[in-house]
Amino acid sequence: MISTELAATLRDAGLVWTPVDGDQFRVRAPGLASDVFTVSTMTIEAHEYPTGTILGFNGTTEWALDSIAIEDALWLPREDQLRTLLRSSFQTLRRSDDTYEVEVSLLGELRVFTDPEPAEAYGRALLALIELSR
């Protein structure tokens, strides 16, 4: 799972989230910032309305929250989702000592993003791709 800081940076850079089962997110509200929730038809469902997406809590959570707007949630994309979002720019993932290296091709130039967590390395590579596409 990527850090909250990187997830927020990706969101602010323009990464759009369309919730599906298995997605993890944090709720941007006092007292809930450290909790991670998972979209699941059993507990939390994404409901699409003309006005936007609402995440509905199906009564199995421990606290009373019916729903939140997607804008109040911060998606924490998984490693596989980040790799998919890199599309054809992704070249390879390597482990080097205590870090992971994600190599991508950005405008014909090979760039390497490193981090002890592979998801963070993928996230940094995706951020660079998003910034180039603006």
Tell me, letter by letter, the H, E, C secondary structure of the chain: CCCHHHHHHHHHHCCCCCCCCCCEEEECCCCCCCCCEECECCCEEEEEECCEEEEEECCCCCCCCCEEEHHHEEECCCHHHHHHHHHHHEEEEEEECCEEEEEEEECCEEEEEEECCHHHHHHHHHHHHHHHHC
pLDDT score for 31: 78
* Claim: this prediction has a pTM higher than 0.85: no
Q: What is the pLDDT of residues 63-77, one digit of tens each?
A: 556 678 889 899 999
Tokens of 2: 């990527």
Q: What is the pLDDT of residues 124-133, one digit of tens each?
A: 999 999 999 8
Mean predicted lDDT score pLDDT of the chain: 89
pLDDT score for 87: 96
Q: What is the pLDDT of residues 65-109, one digit of tens each?
A: 667 888 989 999 999 999 999 999 999 999 999 999 999 999 999
7 C-beta neighbours (distance < 10 Å), count: 22
Counting residues of the chain whose pLDDT is more than 90, the rounded percentage is 63
74 C-beta neighbours (distance < 10 Å), count: 19
Strand-pair partners of 40: 44
Q: What is the pLDDT of residues 28-71, one digit of tens each?
A: 877 777 889 888 776 777 888 888 888 877 665 545 566 788 89
pLDDT score for 46: 83
Tokens of 34: 């450290």
Max Cα–Cα distance, the chain, nearest Å: 51
What's the one-letter identity of residue 88? S
Tokens of 15: 């990464």
